[in-house]
């Protein structure tokens, strides 16, 4: 069967044109997608205040809805902060951007007012390990969009336990004072001083509490119960 080269040239020309159109269309789609992703990043990094994003409730995953009281408990237990995404000093992962875009498409809204749960060092705090990204729903409820990074060590909860509030701090000082009293040589002192054990304990407790409290506050620290949603390092 003979081949008509003219017809082959015409088909090749048409195919080439279709490919160019297809590549141009794909390029436009990718460019539009990148512009949208950049806008989402700008909202995350510079967005304003928002209390309600107008979600369609039926489309939300109930396991991802949390009240601010639950968020506060986790922050206090693990000494974390719950602050605006604009204060987060690391880059947001591509997966988080994709999830925001998908939520916006599903609910027909533009999300804003994002907040992040993360350790203090992950934020740019004003001078006066594992982030969770939330968007507000309204009435104190937040929707968990994405989690990234390594999971917090289970030991962190207990390592930061003394700094939850003044009560746990005092209890830590009380226990340390008991340990110091136990190692203090009381045998000879007890022969000459009535209630030597109690006196040594009270002296140890006063000293431990004063030194640790002074170091804690001079370092610009706050108890977790007050710091969990504070935008300031030392206020």
Neighbours of 164 (CB within 10 A): 18
Q: What does the pLDDT look like over 190-233, one tens digit per residue?
A: 555 667 788 888 889 999 999 988 888 777 788 888 888 887 66
Q: What does the pLDDT look like over 43-63, one tens digit per residue?
A: 998 877 788 898 988 999 988
Q: CA 95, 86, 48: angle at the middle one, nearest 5?
A: 105
Reference 134, options 84, 174, 184, 181; nearest CA is 84
Q: What does the pLDDT look like over 83-114, one tens digit per residue?
A: 999 988 888 888 999 999 999 999 999 999 99
Q: Tell me the two tokens of residue 148.
A: 């990234």
With 60 as the cut, is the pLDDT of residue 73 above it? yes
Neighbours of 199 (CB within 10 A): 14
């Amino acid at each position: 069967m003979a081949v008509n080269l003219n017809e082959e040239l015409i088909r090749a020309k048409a195919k080439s044109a279709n490919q160019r159109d297809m590549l141009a269309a794909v390029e436009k789609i990718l460019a539009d997608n990148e512009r949208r992703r950049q806008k989402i990043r700008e909202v995350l990094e510079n967005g304003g205040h928002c209390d309600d994003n107008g979600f369609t409730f039926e489309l939300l995953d109930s396991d991802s809805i949390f009240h601010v009281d639950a968020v506060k408990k986790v922050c206090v237990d693990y000494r974390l902060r719950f602050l605006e995404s604009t204060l987060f000093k690391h880059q947001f992962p591509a997966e988080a951007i994709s999830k925001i875009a998908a939520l916006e498409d599903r609910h027909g809204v533009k999300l804003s007012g994002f907040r992040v749960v993360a350790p203090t060092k992950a934020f740019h705090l004003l001078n006066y390990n594992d982030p969770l990204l939330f968007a507000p729903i309204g009435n104190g409820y937040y929707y968990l969009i994405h989690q990234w990074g390594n999971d917090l060590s289970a030991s962190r909860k207990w390592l930061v336990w003394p700094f939850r509030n003044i009560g746990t701090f005092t209890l830590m000082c009380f226990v340390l004072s008991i340990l110091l009293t136990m190692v203090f040589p009381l045998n000879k002192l007890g022969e000459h001083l009535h209630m030597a054990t109690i006196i040594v304990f009270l002296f140890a407790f006063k000293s431990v509490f004063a030194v640790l409290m002074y170091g804690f506050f001079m370092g610009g620290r706050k108890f977790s119960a007050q710091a969990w949603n504070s935008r300031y390092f030392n206020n």
